[in-house]
């Protein structure tokens, strides 16, 4: 059984990581990390989310720049 502190720590770390990506990606990345890691615990979910954010940040930034670049 998880403690309240574990849940709050998880929520804080998840929010911190998701703040690094645009809002449109947050739900998908959170779900992907949970699906891949929940059976191993919340620390694994955070680890997977961290890796997903790290791996996708360059592509997200390039796409964002292309969208905001004047025509």
pLDDT digits 0-9 by tens, 2-51: 999 999 999 999 999 999 999 999 999 999 999 999 999 999 999 999 99
Q: Taking the domains of the chain in order of start, what are their residue ranges?
A: 4-68
Residue 25 CB coordination number (10 Å):
15
d(CA 23, CA 7): 22
Question: Tokens 């890691």 belong to which residue?
Answer: 37
Threshold 0.85, pTM exceeds: yes
């Amino acid at each position: 059984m998880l403690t309240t502190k574990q849940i709050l720590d998880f929520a804080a770390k998840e929010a911190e990581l998701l703040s690094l990506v645009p809002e449109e990606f947050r739900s998908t990345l959170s779900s992907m990390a949970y699906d891949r890691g929940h059976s191993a615990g919340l620390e694994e979910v955070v680890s997977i989310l961290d890796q997903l954010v790290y791996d996708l940040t360059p592509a997200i930034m390039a796409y964002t720049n292309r969208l905001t670049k004047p025509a």
